[in-house]
Amino acid sequence: MSIAYRTGHALRRTAIQAVPTVLGIIILCFLLLQMMPGDVADVLAGESGSATAESLAAIRRQAGLDEPVLVQLGSYLWKVAQFDFGQSTRFGTPVSQLILERLPNTLVLMLTALGIALGLGILTGAVMAIQAGRWLDRILQVVVLFFYSTPGFWIGLMAIVLFSVHLGWLPSGGSMTIGLEAKGLDMIRDRLPYLVLPALAMASFFIAVYARLTRAALLEVLQQDYIRTARAKGLSSFTILMRHAVRNALIPVTTVAGIHLGNLLGGAVVIETVFSWPGMGRLALEAVAGRDFNVLLGVLLLSSFLVIVTNVAVDLLQSWIDPRSDSA
């Protein structure tokens, strides 16, 4: 089975599954949000300190909250079908504009955290498998267990105390220097220090997961017959490890990495709050606090789309990694 055939099959399968999946997510989230106590009118009234029944009714009428739930759902689905995610009832700004302003920051944070987790996790797992049963393996297993059992937000807070408060090496929050208008390499150099701590805090749990998974998969692969055949042919240990063992061991790791994208999106809410990172996670938290359902639905819809796209990317990556594709 060729890589081109697998690619086309993965794209067709995802296209068929994507539409009902996204539609189900929208409907389920919309109905669940209707069960939340209060609405944006109650929040605005509480912030202003006083409100009359007439003003509350006017806010609900303007936001369309006075309509029956099914009518609101149908209206929202019709707007989404036209790529219109509505207006933020709290900020009076199009939801798409709010999301597009925050989306790049979240993508940078997530991709950096995922890259760190995969890189360090696979490297650590490979070292643990090669040194299985020795002192280095046991030390790394203790370190991995620590990261696996420790919440990312606690690691983030401790990192702020150590690297920001005591050592002063890295900023404690934000995504860039306030007031600095830099472009190109100057912008990257300015933003990189702000990215280090939140990316490491978000990646800490997943480093442990990928390290343990890589170790187990690699130990299993190294016991296979074709590995013994490669040794009998006189291939070096490095060649056997890189060309035969690691490539097969990466298949379950990439599968789990695709599944974990949703966990990264969920963790972004906490990490972005801890580090004052202006991303979609904080936007979703602000939307929940303000009962701004249009914004929250827009964030959930985009998040589900990102997960679907990532699953396609994982399928394609596995088609390339799988050694069986070389002989097709």
> Per residue, what are the HEC states of the chain?
CCHHHHHHHHHHHHHHHHHHHHHHHHHHHHHHHHCCCCCHHHHHHHHHCCCCHHHHHHHHHHHCCCCCHHHHHHHHHHHHHCCCCCECCCCCCEHHHHHHHHHHHHHHHHHHHHHHHHHHHHHHHHHHHHCCCCHHHHHHHHHHHHHHHCCHHHHHHHHHHHHHHHCCCCCCCCCCCCCCCCCCHHHHHHHHHHHHHHHHHHHHHHHHHHHHHHHHHHHHHCCCHHHHHHHHCCCCHHHHHHHHHHHHHHHHHHHHHHHCHHHHHHHHHHHHHHCCCCCHHHHHHHHHHCCCHHHHHHHHHHHHHHHHHHHHHHHHHHHHHCHHHHHC
d(CA 24, CA 36): 19
Q: For residues 99 and 298, is the Cβ–Cβ distance under 8 A?
A: yes
pLDDT for 235? 67
* pLDDT confidence of residue 34: 76
Give residue 29's pLDDT band: very low, low, confident or very high (50, 70, 90).
Answer: confident
**Whole-model pTM?**
0.77
Q: Which residue has the higher pLDDT, 53 or 274?
A: 274
Residue 314 has pLDDT above 60, yes or no: yes
- Residue 35 in tokens: 């069960």
Q: How confident is the model at residue 107 (pLDDT cuts 50, 70, 90)?
A: confident
Q: For a pLDDT cut of 70, what percent of the chain falls above it?
A: 76
Section 22-41 average pLDDT: 76
Which pLDDT value is given to residue 79?
A: 82
φ, ψ of residue 94 in degrees (nearest 5): -55, 140
Least confident range of 13-17, 65-69, 139-143: 13-17
What would the two tokens of residue 268 be? 């972004």
> For residue 35, is pLDDT > 80?
no
Q: Which two tokens stand for residue 68?
A: 């029956």
Query: What is the set of domains in the chain, with CATH numbers?
Result: 95-327 (1.10.3720.10)
Q: How far apart are CA 276 and CA 258, in angstroms?
A: 26
Rounded distance between C-alpha atoms, residue 129 and residue 121, angstroms: 12
Please give the pLDDT value at position 213: 87
- pLDDT score, position 1: 47
pLDDT tens digits, residue range 155-166? 888 989 888 888
Contact 257, 52 (CB under 8 A): no
Residue 55 CB-density burial (10 A; 0-12 exposed, 13-18 middle, 19+ buried): middle
| Range with top average pLDDT, 114-128, 250-264, 314-328 | 114-128
Q: Measured between alpha carbons, how far is 310 from 315 in angstroms, rounded to an integer? A: 9
Residues 202, 105 contacting (CB under 8 angstroms): no
pLDDT score recorded for residue 164: 87
Q: What is the pLDDT of residue 279?
A: 84
Considering only residues 143 and 45, tell me which one the structure prediction assigns the higher pLDDT.
Answer: 143
Beta bridge partners, 94, equal 87
Q: Which residue has the higher pLDDT, 91 or 134?
A: 134
Which residues does 120 contact at the CB level (< 8 Å), separation at least 6?
Answer: 203, 207, 210, 211
Q: What is the pLDDT of residue 321?
A: 57
For the stretch 234-293, pLDDT in tens is: 666 667 666 667 777 777 777 777 777 777 777 778 888 888 888 888 888 888 777 778
Q: Is 101:91 a contact under the CB 8 Å cutoff?
A: no
Tell me what pLDDT residue 44 has.
Answer: 65
Q: Is the pLDDT assigned to residue 39 strictly greater than 70? A: no
Q: What is the average pLDDT score of the chain?
A: 78
pLDDT tier at 296, thresholds 50, 70, 90: confident
Banded pLDDT at 326 (limits 50, 70, 90): very low
Tell me the residue type at 70: L
Residue 233 has pLDDT above 80, yes or no: no
Residue whose tokens read 């069960």: 35
Per-residue confidence at 150, pLDDT binned at 50, 70, 90?
Answer: confident
Q: What would the pLDDT profile of 195-232 be if each residue is shown by its tens digit?
A: 889 999 888 889 998 998 888 888 887 777 666 777 77
d(CA 50, CA 1): 68
Please tell me the predicted confidence (pLDDT) of residue 215.
Answer: 87
Question: Measured between alpha carbons, how far is 304 from 310 in angstroms, rounded to an integer?
Answer: 10
With vertex at residue 146, the alpha carbon angle to CA 140 and CA 150, rounded to the nearest 5 degrees, is 155
